[in-house]
Amino acid sequence: MGTALVTDGLRRGVRVVFEDAGPGIPDLDLALTDGWTSGSGLGLGLSGSRRLVDEFAIDSGPGRGTTVTIVKWAR
C-alpha cells in the first residue's frame, strides 16, 4: 500500500498501490470484463478503474491476495 509522486522524464504523476490479503482473483480477464461480477456488484469496479487511469496492473491469484498498481499522469 502506498502513494508516490513519479515521473517518466516528461510527465509527473502519482502511483498508488492497493493491496489486500483476500481470496485473490483466479481469472483476471474475466474479472476485468465489464459487467461481470461473482457477487451482487455492478461488475464495474475493476474495469471502470482501469479506464480512469493511465497505467493499471493487477497481481493476484487464489490464496495470495490482490495487488493493484495504478499511475495517473498530471494533465
The site that binds Mg ion (CB under 5 A) totals a number of residues, namely 1
CB of 7 to Mg ion, least distance (A): 30
Note whether 61 and 25 are within 8 A (CB): yes
Among ligand ATP, Mg ion, none, partner that 39 touches (CB below 5 to 8 angstroms by kind): ligand ATP
Q: Is 21 helix (H, G, I), strand (E, B) or coil?
A: coil
Pick the closer one to ligand ATP by CB: 47 or 69: 47
Q: Which residues neighbour 35 within 8 Å (Cβ) at sequence distance 6 or greater?
A: 42, 43, 44
Q: Does 67 bind ligand ATP (CB under 6 A)?
A: no
